[in-house]
Amino acid sequence: MPSKLAIFDLDMTLVDSREDIAASVARALTMRCGLNLLIRDVFPFIGCGLVDTFRSLAPEADEENIRACVREYRRWFYDHCHDRSRLYEGVREGLAQLRSMGFLLAIATAKNKFMAYRVLGSFGLVDAFDIICGADELAPKPDPAIVQSVCKSAAIHPMESVMIGDTTMDVLAGQGAGAKTIAVTYGIGDEKELKALNPDFISLDFNSVLGVLFKLRKH
């Protein structure tokens, strides 16, 4: 059955945003909890959701301070989401190629929807996608609800869709919805953990993602 819908995670799948995310998290912890962390200390927690990230990095903070960290992060990151972030090589051209082949394109991200628009807008890519779905609308990955919702909005059966992401949460969400899955190893996810979930495909870079999608569109 040919694939018709490509559903992408955003951070570390299309955009290498790890430094801007980590710097914003570290700054919020300094401002609200008096903690001073190196940016690299935050990297392992990216993709876990803001509340869980701050709880993990500041285990002694109470819920009021955790909420304050989330607010501070969002306020700062909105204006600084493009300081050091960059598209992975081939993304802009690749999305255009997928569109020309008849793919519907979607985003399923752990970000709130307005921030997904903000990040995509900073690269001029909002119009590249038919559907943009954020974690503020549905249960976060690995729950399959966000993938199911995208498929429903596109009027595409999950079996005709592909979920592409860099974490086990992306793979599990795709599998739970009944979609094909492509795990990418160039993001922050652990390669061994990704392979242990037996995704349909493993891609080492974005160009190999495109190669898989081209084949799935034809078969």
**Catalytic site residues?**
9, 11
Ramachandran category for residue 178: left, alpha or beta (phi over 0 → left; psi -120 to 50 → alpha):
left
Token pair in block for residue 218? 């034809």
Q: Is the dihedral of CA 112, 117, 122, 124 positive or negative?
A: positive
158: exposed, middle or buried (C-beta count within 10 Å: 0-12, 13-18, 19+)?
buried
Give the CA distances from residue 180 to residues 3, 32, 69, 120, in Å, rounded to whole numbers and listed in that order. 9, 41, 36, 24
